[in-house]
Copies of this chain bind each other. A is one copy, B any other.
Amino acid sequence: MEDAMTRQIKLGAFLPGGGQHIASWRHPDQPLDGAVNLKFHIELAKAAERGLFDAYFLADGLAVAFGGGVEGGNAKVAGFEPVTLFSALAPFTEHLGYIATASTTYEEPYSVARKFASLDLISDGRAGWNVVTTATEAAAKNFNLDQQLPHAARYRRAAEHVEVVKKLWESFEDDAFIRDRASGVYFDVDKVHRTDHRGEHFKVEGPLNVPRSPQGHPVIVQAGQSEDGRGLAASTAEVIFTAHQKLHTAQEFYRDIKSRARAIGRNPSHILVMPGVSPFVGCTEEEAREKYDRLTSLIIEEDGLALINALSGGELDLAGADLDGPLPPAPPTEGMKSRQELIRRIADENNFSIRQLYQWIASARGHFTVVGSAVQIADTLQEWFENEAADGFNILPPWLPTGLTDFVELVVPELQRRGLFRTAYEGKTLRENLGLPFPQTRWVSDFNEAAE
């Protein structure tokens, strides 16, 4: 096990050009064109780096995200593609990592390996790949399919896809480049390797035409919660994003992932579990509450109902329902039962009216909302961090930039006072800052992951 004295919280920041709260774009702090404003994204990256965050994180979808904004109230309906955006941001920071999402279902391994390797070079070793299988029908219809592949098929393809990408990232050994003007030898031909992969889903000869970066290759990130997702994450992920409302479910997930990793011979401290947290921070609890209430007051009724509808898989008909009454009974459904059940459980457990329900889920869309002073929020993070629920957190600011800068200016110093967070970056690369090992290529003869 790692030395408990040196273990510190890792922090990601989820900054998609607008806050996590559904009404964030109506808040006067947030630029109206945030989703397509490069200067704003540069400002966010610099703020995250000032706060010594490990990484800037972006989710991704391969279709227009109408959900939660069917009446035109969705500020995230369209925007930048993450890997190009991060390539533009990386030169404006020196230490911040950049974790972008890309799909194993709709992109080829050579293309994925290549764009992330390029981002990794552009950022001098600060890239991460969040591996997703993309679970929407809308994406399938943008990529020549009438409907998406079944869940298990997507995960089987994902496992092989990640394997191929990692092989491609070992095409050039770290010392392959000689660059000797006198002899005219630029690279050592014996240190360039074909991939020669032939599997169930992919045939890829290689080598990749991008060399390795100072951190070897991008950090592998995942967020799968299902049985298939956990299996893939335990075997390949180095960082895992996850969503939990309660300490005990976060602990269950944390222990499960670490034990799966241990079972297949991986060092569990090389898989960092980072739940999402959406913080409303004030100098006092009352001030934090005011910030929360202000955003709540900005929710458009129709957007709130559309959000319930989207999160419950489109099966609940709320037209004409009394918003201050309870959620109506669900019709029989063949749709996404687990999502609908989650929404209903939240309503029942809290005795929420329809309005209270959408106000609650509007804040963090399933992630953990914390409202309080810096001390209160640090208390919660510390409790999760010290009780096998988290190695760090993926911070989802409710609105931007203030939701982020509040955290940087108030919570980060409190965590530092407690010795729970760095006061300076430890290294230059994302791996060094996350405390993850350098991935030797399979061509290095004495490599043995078990010995790490």
Contacts and interface: CB of A to CB of B under 8 A. Distances in A.
Interface of A: 23, 25-26, 28, 32-33, 36, 38, 42, 61-65, 69-75, 77-81, 83-85, 87-88, 90-92, 106-108, 110-111, 114-115, 117-119, 121-122, 138, 141-146, 171-172, 177-179, 181, 184-189, 192, 202-211, 300, 303
Nearest to A190: B72
B118 A85 contact: yes
Contacts of A74: 186-187
Contacts of A189: 70-72
Contacts of A118: 80-81, 84-85
Contacts of A181: 25-26, 28, 32
A84 B118 CA distance: 7
B32 A179 contact: yes
A206 B122 contact: no
B172 A78 contact: yes
Contact of A122 (B23, B38, B192, B211): B38
6 contacts: A26-B184, A77-B192, A78-B211, A80-B210, A81-B118, A106-B111
Interface core residue of A25, A78, A83, A178 (most chain B CB under 10 Å): A78
A181 to B, nearest CB: 5
A50 B245 CA distance: 55
A184 B88 contact: no
B186 A73 contact: yes
Contacts of A25: 179, 181, 186
A235 to B, nearest CB: 23
Contact of A110 (B62, B91, B185, B303): B62
Contact of A185 (B62, B71, B90): B71
A36 B181 CA distance: 17
Nearest to A37: B121
B211 A72 contact: no
A93 to B, nearest CB: 12
Interface core residue of A88, A114, A179 (most chain B CB under 10 Å): A88
Contacts of A207: 64
Contacts of A138: 205
Given A81-B114, A83-B84, A187-B72, A64 B208 contact: yes
Contact of A84 (B69, B92, B122, B178): B122
Given A171-B64, A181-B28, A110 B36 contact: no
B141 A205 contact: yes
Contacts of A205: 138, 141-142
A177 B108 CA distance: 33
Interface core residue of A33, A79, A179, A184 (most chain B CB under 10 Å): A184
Nearest to A210: B78
Contacts of A204: 141-144
A114 B70 CA distance: 22
Given A36-B211, A91-B38, A122-B38, A184 B303 contact: yes
A62 to B, nearest CB: 7
A198 B271 CA distance: 43
Given A88-B91, A209-B63, A108 B110 contact: no
A210 B77 CA distance: 8
A294 to B, nearest CB: 13
A383 B143 CA distance: 48
